Structure 1
Amino acid sequence: MSFTQVAALFCLAATVLNLTGLAIAALRLRRPRGLLAVSPAAPAVTIIRPLCRINNYERETLASTFALDYPNYEILFCVEDADDPVVGLVHGLMAAHPKVRAELLIGQDRRTANPKLNNCLKAWEVAGHGWVIMADSNVLMPRDYVQRMMARWRDDTGLVCSMPIGSHPGNFWAELECAFLNTFQARWQYVGESLGQGFAQGKSMLMRRDVVEAGGGLLRALGAELAEDAAFTKLVRAAGLHVHLVDMPFEQPLGRRRVQEVWSRQARWAMLRRLTFPVMFVPELLTGAFFPIVAGIYAAWQADLNVAMVAVGLAGLWFGGEILLARRAGWHVSSRLLLACALRDCLLPALWLVAWLRQDYVWRGNAVKVQPVMAEELD
């Protein structure tokens, strides 16, 4: 078999795999038809929201926690520094909603290498209910947020989660973040779940305390990894359970983004995936359209075909399919999204290389070294 034939077959196989993934995600996603009703047997829930500074749309996302259509829940906000500007915002929201049980917990607890987990430990220790949701501060919660999480719990469930779906982008770099979050990362998470290989995403996670405690407890089980979602994935699989995803993910309003913000976040996530699931991370080099389209162009050139038409046709299949998925799901679509998807796929190989070459990153002022955590460090 000639190199040209290999290139053509690779292009064809990768394109078919991409379209199959888009189709699986489209079939798996289910847009809600109105608010989900609350079950008469709905259990009490603790919602833990770690805070650090004020993000875009912070008031709207935190205020959504107080407007849930759920009969029995408490909110535990966590922040390390009493001088953090988000403290005043939370106090104002708590004063405006006195009927909702909410508490702001302040203090540092540096017992693991994961800054976010450290921030949540104080809430875990005082949570009043057996069902717990951990949700990042930039998640916009619909009124039936808890019901939609609970609706995905099954007998074989160890965790229900939702990846973030970027919305309200304020500039092109936020469009690029939408391209990463929505039709790329969210799509492949649904594909993984459909194949019985669901994995956690730390934006919104519903869990039961007894499952976590059986896996070693929050400190030892989750502190054993730099990323709490990777730790949860391993904990759940070790228990013979599964990670399930909500039928329709929740929004993360973006606002304006700087290119460095988007790059740093994606590089950090790539480094953590490389550290926690290295075997699964290796094939990520070949994800995206960059290599398949280059291979298709080469094969077309060698076969004396119209290279421009082949390139346009392949781009239409790859990126047009993503636009169709976004429209079906009701996610953000704009004229700039096609360009953002193309730029994203050009960046994927560079992100893959960075994940292997870099050993540290800075997350919200915390310097983190990308290395395995020893069990004795958590004692």
Structure 2
Amino acid sequence: MTLPLPSAWWLLVALCCAAAVYAVCAALTMPRLGSMAEVRAAARRARSRAPVAVSVLKPLCGAEPRLYENLATFCEQHHPSFQLLFGVSSTADPAIAVVHRLQAAYPQHDIELVVDPRVYGSNLKVSNLMNLAARARYDALIVADSDIAVEPDYLDIVTAPLADPSVGVVTCLYQARSIGGFWPRVGALFINEWFAPSVRVAHSTGSRAFGFGATLALSRATLERIGGFAALKDCLADDYLLARYARDHGLATVLAPVVVATDVIEPTFGTLWLRETRWLRTIRSVNPAGFASLFITFTSPWLMLGGVLAALLAAGSAPLAAALAGSGGSTTAALAALGASTAGSIIARGLLHARSSISWRMFWRDLPLVPLRDTLLALQWLAAVFGSHVVWRGVRVPVANPEAGETRVDGATRSVPARGVSPRGAPTRRAAVEVSDGR
């Protein structure tokens, strides 16, 4: 059933105004988390406390661009006591040579390579983590994705909150760096100007319903309390659910002020589309209500719609004027609302782009991409609404698997009994997937 024209008209006006309000909030919250002053203050507070020895678990798969440079930042930490555990599942993995380079360059650090092919479930990343966790020497653990680069105070800052027994998981945001040409630049805008601001807005309203693979710091006691990494072995959104399971036990999720860097390397439109729709469908699988509300965050399409409607009204469109009169409204009120929302959206979107850019050169270079980025995101959201699969490393994986004997719980497909491994631990023919958070 369609809405009467007057109601539909005022609904569009209200949505344009709501999108403008969100854009303003996103722009204003940008400097509040991850600013240099806040990071320096957090580092000073962390160094004033007794340091926590920590084991860093880094699951690897393949030699990504800048892998050595990213992993080396974990070797440049000011933290006095840490262990670096790098895990691969095959002796032929090219990441092994990168780890050997690290061991040669930083002989003073505790760097261990774990090559273990054992698979415990459909999520190969979690199987890798289970193999790494068995070699961890310390009670504080950090899980961090392979394409993350960090500052020297990183370990101090993210481990400090674990001294509070009410804290379950510490996570952090990330800023994207484009590696390559045009499409990596577009992909970096996805993270820097949509994903990160949406988290900041949610955080400023008190939400803590997140967990990012860029960093997940927790104690061994917390991990054991939620059932270990084994509880995630068949989960698609393993990072989100790790923090979620800790919250289910009454333990808080803390968003650390430090912002790490991540690389965007997708060279083509097709690879970028697959990656970003995978992120959005994963969000849909674990948070359907939050996913449904995302449409209001795509600023440019709403801005353009508001401008078109305002232009039609200003030009004296008879059908629209009649619709307004029939609903008890006025052309003047609608024009004022649309004018304010359009102007507010333009200013806020420009401010958000400026605060997300690391230099004025980058600001002007990528400014023409902003409408493309927002419109592409809206189309990807629509695709994610109707899609039922994600693609990871060429493997097509259902978001929800109705296969007999399996149930889907919070984004996880659980087998009863588990069918990811044979009774002797050897992998079966069931397709496995290695997933990360949304990067």
Q: Is the aligned partner of 1:320 residue 2:350?
A: yes
Is the partner of 1:116 in helix, strand or coil?
A: helix
Q: C-alpha displacement at 1:22, in angstroms?
A: 2.4
Is 1:17 aligned to 2:22, yes or no?
A: yes
What is residue 224 of structure 2 aligned with on the other side? 213
Between 1:111-120 and 1:151-160, the stretch displaced more is: 151-160
Q: For the structure 1 residues 331 and 234, does the alpha-carbon distance in structure 2 shift closer, same or farther, using more than 3 Å as the test?
A: farther
Letter in structure 2 aligned against 1:213 = E
Structure 1 residues 183-192 or 165-174, which shifts more?
165-174
* 1:370 corresponds to: 399
The alignment partner of 1:235 has SS state of: helix
Q: How does 1:307-346 map to 2 (within 5 A)?
A: 313=343, 316-326=346-356, 333-346=362-375
Identity of aligned residues (%): 25
Equivalent residue in structure 2 for 1:360, among 389, 401, 405: 389
In the alignment, which of 51, 54, 59 is matched to residue 42 of structure 1?
Answer: 51
Shift, 1:179, TM fit = 0.9
Q: 2: distance between equivalents of 1:87 and 1:376?
A: 35
Partner deviation per Cα, 1:33-84 (whole Å, 9 max, x = no partner): 4993534511110001111111121110011122211111101101111111
User: Does the C-alpha gap of structure 1 residues 186 and 320 become closer, same or farther in structure 2, counting only changes over 3 Å?
Assistant: same
Are the counterparts in 2 of residues 35 and 143 from structure 1 also a CA contact under 8 Å? no
Displacement after TM superposition at 1:165 (Å): 0.8
| 8 A contact 1:61–1:139 mirrored in 2 | yes
* Range with greater deviation from structure 2 (28-37 or 41-50): 28-37
Going from structure 1 to structure 2, the CA distance change for 1:119 and 1:219 (only over 3 Å counts) comes to same
Whether the 8 Å contact between 1:114 and 1:227 is mirrored in structure 2 is no
Offset, 1:375? 5.5
- When normalised by structure 1's length, the TM-score is 0.89
Give, as a single letter, the amino acid of the residue that structure 1 aligns with 2:43: L
TM-score (norm 2): 0.78
Any gaps of 5 or more consecutive residues in structure 2?
1-5, 317-334, 401-407, 420-439
Distance 2:183 2:247 in 1: 36
Q: Which moved more, 1:143-152 or 1:27-36?
A: 27-36
> Who is 2:213 aligned against?
202
- Which residue does the alignment assign to 1:128? 137
1:336 deviates by: 3.1
Q: Greater CA radius of gyration, 1 or 2? A: 2
One-letter identity of the residue aligned with 1:185? F
Provide the rounded CA distance (Å) in 1 between the counterparts of 2:376 and 2:187. Answer: 12
Q: 1:246 to 1:335 in 2, by over 3 A?
A: same
Maintained 8 Å contact 2:61/2:88? yes
What SS does the aligned partner of 1:280 have?
helix
> Does residue 267 in structure 1 map to residue 274 in structure 2?
no
Is 1:176–2:189 an aligned residue pair?
A: no
Residue in structure 2 matched with residue 73 of structure 1 by the alignment: 82
Partner of 1:85: 94
Which deviates more from structure 2 when the two are superposed, residues 56-65 or residues 228-237? 228-237
Contact 2:52 2:160 in 1 (8 A): no
Residue 112 (structure 1) aligned with residue 121 (structure 2) = yes
Deviation at 1:112, TM superposition (A): 2.1
1:242-297 per-position Cα deviation (integer Å, ceiling 9, x unaligned): 22222131111446733223222111111111111122211123321144224312
* Aligned-partner Cα distance in 1 for 2:93–2:351: 43
Deviations 1:101-129 (A, max 9, x none): 11111122322222221221100122111
Of 242-251 and 255-264, more deviation after overlay is shown by: 255-264
Q: Residues of 1 paired with 2:168 and 2:315: CA distance?
A: 52
Contact 1:133 1:205 in 2 (8 A): yes
2:259 is aligned with 1:249: yes
**Selected match of 2:153 from 137, 144, 161:** 144
Which moved further from structure 2: 88-97 or 41-50?
88-97
Deviation at 1:377, TM superposition (A): 4.7
- The match for 1:283 among 293, 308, 314 is 293
Task: Please tell me whether the aligned partners of residues 183 and 266 of structure 2 are also in contact (alpha carbons under 8 angstroms).
Answer: yes
Distance change >3 Å, CA 150–CA 11, structure 1 → 2: same
- Partner amino acid, structure 2, of 1:349: A
